[in-house]
Structure 1
Amino acid sequence: MSNSQGLERRIRAAEQRVAATYGLTTTEHVVMLGDPTVRVLTVGEGEPLVHINGISAPAMGMAPLVAGLPGFRHILIDLPGHSLAPPCTWQGRTVRELAIGVVTGTLDALDIERAAFVGSSLGGLFTLWTMLDAPERVSRAALVATPATALPGSRVIAEFAALTSPIRGRFDQSLMRLPSPRFIARIALTEAIGANAARAMSDDMLDLHRLPLRLPGQAASYRALLRRLIQDRTARPENVLTDAELARIDTPTLFVWGEDDVFCSPEQARSSVAKIPGAHLAVVPGGHAPWFDDAHRCVTLVRAFLAGDRHA
Structure 2
Amino acid sequence: MDATAFARMQSLAYAGYGLEPETRFVDLPDPRMRACLHEVGQGDPVVLLHGGNSVAASWLPLLPALADEHRLILPDRPGCGLSGPFDYRGVDLRAHGAAFVERLLDGLGLDRAPLVGNSMGGYFALAFAIAHPERVARLVLLGEPAGSSARAVLFHRLVGTRGVNSLLYRTALRPPRDAAGLRAGWARAGLVADPSRVPDALGVCLAAGARLPWAVRGWTTMVERVFVPPGGGLFARELRATRALVPELGRIDCPVLFLWGSQDPLGAPDVGRGIAARLPDARLVEVEDAGHLPWIDQPELCGTAVAEFLAG
For residue 125 of structure 1, what is the aligned residue in structure 2?
123
Corresponding residue number in structure 2 for 1:87: 85
Aligned to 1:247: 250
Q: 1:24 to 1:223 in 2, by over 3 A?
A: same
1:58 is displaced (CA, Å) by 1.3
Matched to 2:36, the amino acid is R
Deviation at 1:111, TM superposition (A): 1.1
Per the alignment, residue 271 of structure 2 pairs with 268
Counterpart in the other structure of 1:307: 311
Partner of 1:12: 7
- Name the counterpart of 2:158: 162
Pairs within 5 Å for 1:48-197? 48-69=45-66, 70-149=68-147, 151-153=148-150, 155-175=151-171, 180=177, 182-194=179-191, 196-197=193-194
* Native 8 Å contact 2:177 2:208 kept in 1: no
1:242: Cα distance to partner? 4.4
> Mean alpha-carbon deviation: is it higher for 67-76 or for 238-247?
238-247
Once the two structures are overlaid, the 10-residue window that deviates more, 172-181 or 262-271, is 172-181
- What is the deviation of 1:152? 4.3
Find the aligned partners of 2:252 and 2:82 in 1 and give their Cα distance. 33
Shift in alpha-carbon separation, 1:139–1:147, aligned structure 2, 3 A: same
CA distance in 2 between counterparts of 1:249 and 1:241 reads 15
Render the CA deviation track for 1:210-259: whole Å, top value 9, x for unaligned.
22232222211111001011233544346523443122221210001111
Give distance in 1, aligned partners of 2:21 and 2:240: 38
Identity across the alignment (%)? 29
Task: Tell me, in whole angstroms, the C-alpha distance in 1 between the residues paired with 2:217 and 2:137.
Answer: 34
- Scaled by the length of structure 2, the TM-score of the pair is 0.89
Give the counterpart letter for 1:298 in structure 2. C
Q: 1: CA distance between counterparts of 2:90 and 2:271?
A: 33
> Do the aligned residues in 2 keep the contact of 1:124 with 1:143 (CA within 8 Å)?
yes
Q: Which runs of 5+ in 2 are unaligned?
A: none
Aligned CA distance change for structure 1 residues 89 and 271 (closer, same or farther; 3 Å): same
CA deviation map 1:57-101 (0-9, x unaligned)? 110110111111121110001001112221101245411111112
CA gap of 1:179–1:25, structure 2 versus 1, over 3 A, is closer
Change (3 A) 1:56 1:178: closer
Provide, for residues 135-185 of structure 1, a one-character-per-residue CA deviation record: whole Å limited to 9, x for no partner: 222110111110111x343x5333322222233211123346677454333
Asked if the contact 1:96–1:239 (Cα under 8 Å) also holds between the matched residues in 2, the reply is: no
Q: In the alignment, is the contact (CA less than 8 A) between 2:178 and 2:203 conserved in 1?
A: no
Relative to structure 1, the CA distance from residue 269 to residue 95 in structure 2 (aligned partners, 3 Å threshold; closer, same or farther) is: same
Please give the alpha-carbon distance, in whole angstroms, between the structure 2 residues aligned to 1:260 and 1:179: 23
Q: How many residues align?
A: 301
Aligned pairs for 1:19-38 within 5 A: 19-33=14-28, 34-38=31-35
CA contact (8 A) 2:175 2:207 kept: no
CA distance in 1, matches of 2:75, 2:162: 30
Q: How does 1:210-225 map to 2 (within 5 A)?
A: 210-225=207-222
Cα distance in 2 for residues equivalent to 1:132 and 1:188: 34
Shift of 1:10: 2.9
Question: 137-146 or 172-181: which moved more?
Answer: 172-181
Change in 2 beyond 3 A, CA 1:177/1:237? closer
Relative distance call for 1:179 and 1:306 in structure 2 (3 A) is closer
Amino acid at match of 2:263: D
Distance in structure 1 (CA, Å) of the matches to 2:124 and 2:245: 15
Counterpart of 1:256 in structure 2 is 259
Moved more, 168-177 or 36-45: 168-177
Verify the 8 A CA contact 1:79 1:85 in the aligned structure 2.
Answer: yes
| Counterpart-to-counterpart distance in 2, 1:37 and 1:259 | 36
1:246-297 C-alpha deviation (Å, 9 max, x unpaired): 2222121000111111111112321221111121001112111111111111
